[in-house]
Amino acid sequence: MTKQELIENIKRKKSFLCIGLDTDLKKIPEHLKREDDPVFAFNKAIIDATADYCIAYKPNIAFYEYNGLKGLTSLYKTVDYIKKNYPDQFIIADAKRGDIGNTSEMYANAFLKEMDVDAITVAPYMGEDSVTPFLKYDGKWVILLALTSNKGAQDFQFQEDENGEWLFEKVLKISQKWGTDENMMYVVGATQEKMFGYIRKIVPEHFLLVPGIGAQGGSLEEVCKYGLNDCCGLIINSSRAIIYADRSEQFAVRAAEEAALIRDEMKNYLSQKGII
Amino acid sequence: MTKQELIENIKRKKSFLCIGLDTDLKKIPEHLKREDDPVFAFNKAIIDATADYCIAYKPNIAFYEYNGLKGLTSLYKTVDYIKKNYPDQFIIADAKRGDIGNTSEMYANAFLKEMDVDAITVAPYMGEDSVTPFLKYDGKWVILLALTSNKGAQDFQFQEDENGEWLFEKVLKISQKWGTDENMMYVVGATQEKMFGYIRKIVPEHFLLVPGIGAQGGSLEEVCKYGLNDCCGLIINSSRAIIYADRSEQFAVRAAEEAALIRDEMKNYLSQKGII
């Protein structure tokens, strides 16, 4: 998907919500556990109920690897289902991969060609040749970790160099030589809300993928206040607060209600910003 | 596997060689491509031929993900085959995972419990809570990226802070609070041979997993000169130079010859150091 297509989807659907498919067998409603593939059944119901309110889905690969071969099958089926039925959805493999060049090439092929998702999250620690193999696929995106939403972000990402620059700043600056705002985005956690204004000065045009609202406690309002740019520039993820809003047979309806609430709030921010 | 068991295996086999199973369908001998599972057939032949000369195997997960469900099946079969037939081999899932706590827990379970390998490589960028979930399994190991073998290691790992400390140094120092030399090792690339003496001062007791000899150009002699400690403390990996030493029907015999040559060199260094 091109940047222009993504922006058009955001304007048309008045939403920049991404729903995280962190599907955990232990947390899905009891009645689904009788299905052949309970994870896929859950995902399908969530997707059908929420597709009007979001512009992206983000399966978290760990939750599928957890279930071994069966998990990988559920993942492929989920991606195929979205692609076939909701081709305007941007699909992000939240995999946080990254390795030496010949190995990153294998990961890139696995996710961006064979699984054929639109984007993959990548860890920056190993530098340029660990990231660029993911940038060789037309219409596909690298979403590079910059400033993450977890407590451990403090351990290394805020390390200052001799000029007072933080490590995550260096990641933002140096990686801009590797790709463009047409094929790279950055992960910036919603819990880092105070940093959005600062980050926007470094990457004014890039889309930011923002996890951490909902269960992790970040504020949508604050993130939008400092993070929105003239083309929106934000994809905001919520996982647990939507998909586990309810554990009864009404789970999908309740997930849709939660997603609609966030969409309504997003619609206001897009309107205030003059984007729609 | 405990640290003591690993050291005993090294002394008994007079080797600290790890063979990287970066098995690429495009590179395996033609006659194996007629097998039901050519990747497993290749791995099995390599393992049977080389097990006397090495103390560890390291499947590179990217090469299996590349082949989708079939690849994951080959991976499980390979791990099971090693565990059943060569229980003294230390098995490393080279996966370079790492994510927020609840997600790292899923990866940890997938690799250290379900797949039941001895160790997993983990990326440090997201800090403590992305690493500690992997430390909760008795007898299992985290192998944390410190200073990698690739060119991109220069991009961030050598960033200096206000005190002149490199990022990889901080990773070594800070992460020592998370685990011990009984459940953590570090990746240090053989191409960083000048740094081994320096790194040994920071982590005198920890095992280092050293990729980058062979195809990547690092020197075994230099690494051993500065990296060996009194308990060996090194696991040195070679992948392509061994497993693709030959592409004919003689591939396994030739792989064994290459592995034996490295073992012979290692035996000398262990002897010079008084370890055996």
Q: Return d(Cα A52, Cα A19) in angstroms, integer.
A: 12
Q: Do B103 and A72 touch (CB under 8 A)?
A: no
Q: Is the minimum CB–CB distance between A22 and chain B shorter than 8 Å?
A: yes
Q: Is the minimum CB–CB distance between B155 and chain A shorter than 8 Å?
A: yes
Angle among Cα A158, A162, A163 to the nearest 5 degrees reads 85
pLDDT value of position B57: 98
- Nearest by CB to residue B167, choosing from A148, A159, A216, is A159
Q: Where are the beta strands (DSSP E) in chain B?
A: 17-21, 56-59, 90-97, 119-122, 141-147, 184-188, 208-210, 234-238
- What is the arithmetic mean of pLDDT over B175-194? 95
Q: Do A148 and B104 touch (CB under 8 A)?
A: no
Query: What tokens does A62 get?
Result: 């760990």
Distance of CA B34 to the CA centre of its chain: 30
Q: Return d(Cα B172, Cα A218) in angstroms, integer.
A: 31
Q: Is the minimum CB–CB distance between A156 and chain B shorter than 8 Å?
A: yes
pLDDT value of position B138: 97
Q: Is the minimum CB–CB distance between A261 and chain B shorter than 8 Å?
A: no
From first to last of the 276 residues of chain A, give the pLDDT tens digit.
Answer: 999 999 999 999 999 999 999 999 999 999 999 999 999 999 999 999 999 999 999 999 999 999 999 999 999 999 999 999 999 999 999 999 999 999 999 999 999 999 999 999 999 999 999 999 999 999 999 999 999 999 999 999 999 998 899 999 999 999 999 999 999 999 999 998 889 999 999 999 999 999 989 778 889 999 999 999 999 999 999 999 999 999 999 999 999 999 999 999 999 999 999 999
DSSP-based three-state secondary structure for B201: helix
Asked whether the predicted pLDDT for residue B50 surpasses 90, the reply is yes
The closest of B13, B12, B37, B7 to B25, measured between CA atoms, is B37
Of chain A, the end-to-end C-alpha distance in Å amounts to 21
Could you say which residues from 205 to 224 on chain A have a Cβ atom under 8 Å away from some Cβ of chain B? 211, 216
Q: Residues B115-138: pLDDT tens digits?
A: 999 999 999 999 999 999 999 999
- Nearest by CB to residue B69, choosing from A69, A98, A123, is A69
Count the neighbouring beta carbons within 10 Å of the beta carbon of residue B87: 8
Could you say which residues from 72 to 91 on chain B have a Cβ atom under 8 Å away from some Cβ of chain A? 72-73, 76
**DSSP bridge partners of B161:** A161
Q: Return d(Cα A121, Cα A96) in angstroms, integer.
A: 5
- Given B96, B170, B225, B267, which residue is catalytic? B96
- Nearest by CB to residue A128, choosing from B66, B68, B155, is B155
Q: Which residue of B has its CA nearest to A177?
A: B155
Asked whether the predicted pLDDT for residue B54 surpasses 80, the reply is yes
Tracing tokens 């990326």 back to the chain, one arrives at: B123
- Nearest by CB to residue B127, choosing from A103, A155, A211, is A155
Q: Which ipTM did the prediction report? A: 0.96
Q: Do A161 and B156 touch (CB under 8 A)?
A: no
- What is the arithmetic mean of pLDDT over B150-162? 95
Q: Do A151 and B145 touch (CB under 8 A)?
A: no
**Which domains, ranges and CATH numbers included, belong to chain B?**
3-272 (3.20.20.70)
Total number of residues shown for chain B = 276
- Is A83 marked active-site? no
Mean pLDDT of chain B: 97
Q: Return d(Cα B15, Cα B177) in angstroms, integer.
A: 30
Distance of CA B65 to the CA centre of its chain: 18
pLDDT value of position B216: 80
Q: Is the minimum CB–CB distance between B145 and chain A shorter than 8 Å?
A: yes
pLDDT value of position A265: 97
Grade residue B215 by pLDDT with cuts at 50, 70 and 90. Answer: confident
Is the separation of the CB atoms in B240 and B213 below 8 Å?
Answer: no
Is the separation of the CB atoms in B172 and B218 below 8 Å?
Answer: no
A-B contacts (CB, under 8 Å): 184
pLDDT value of position B193: 86
Contacts of A109 in chain B (CB under 8 A): 66
Q: How does A160-198 read in b/e, with b if 16+ C-beta sit within 10 Å?
A: eeeeeebbbbbbbeebbebbeeebbbbbbbbbbbebbee
pLDDT value of position B162: 86
> Nearest-CA distance from B150 to chain A in Å?
6
Q: Do A159 and B170 touch (CB under 8 A)?
A: yes
Is the separation of the CB atoms in A125 and A96 below 8 Å?
Answer: no
Q: Is the minimum CB–CB distance between A133 and chain B shorter than 8 Å?
A: no
Q: Return d(Cα B266, Cα B228) in angstroms, integer.
A: 11
pLDDT value of position A215: 75
pLDDT value of position B217: 84
**DSSP bridge partners of A120:** A93, A142
Tell me if the pTM is above 0.90. Answer: yes
